[in-house]
Amino acid sequence: MLKLTEMNVDDLNKLKQLRMERLIGIFSSSLPFCLIQIDDENVLSIHCHHAGVMNGLISELEDLCYYACLIAGVKFISLHSLQREILRVDAFIL
């Protein structure tokens, strides 16, 4: 088993990708239709252009915060529509 200090950049990127795939799998009715990324400050940014999908994400926000924090280790979730941030929440609060 690898120690964290023995993981290289490729290992860390693969782990990040697997975490994102797991999160997308849990929210399969919404996240596959959005562009999602985690930045260096552990902010999960979700860019979505479909109002119905965005409404679904907002209605599932409590679960999204819980699983995003648990699976991906994010601190904040930022929802974007039409290249504008419409909501930012602390993933630990909800």
Domain layout of the chain by residue ranges: 4-90
What is the tens place of the pLDDT at every residue in 22-77?
Answer: 999 999 999 999 999 999 899 999 999 999 999 999 999 999 999 999 999 999 99
Q: What is the pLDDT of residue 1?
A: 62
- Note the CATH architecture for domain 4-90: 2-Layer Sandwich (3.30)
2-6, 8-12, 18-22, 32-36: lowest mean pLDDT where?
2-6
Distances (CA, A) of 43 to 3, 5, 6, 8, 39: 25, 23, 25, 22, 6
Q: For 11-25, what is the mean pLDDT?
A: 93
How far is C-alpha 50 from the geometric centre of its chain's CA atoms? 17
Q: What is the pTM of this model?
A: 0.85
Query: Contact 78/54 with Cβ under 8 angstroms?
Result: no
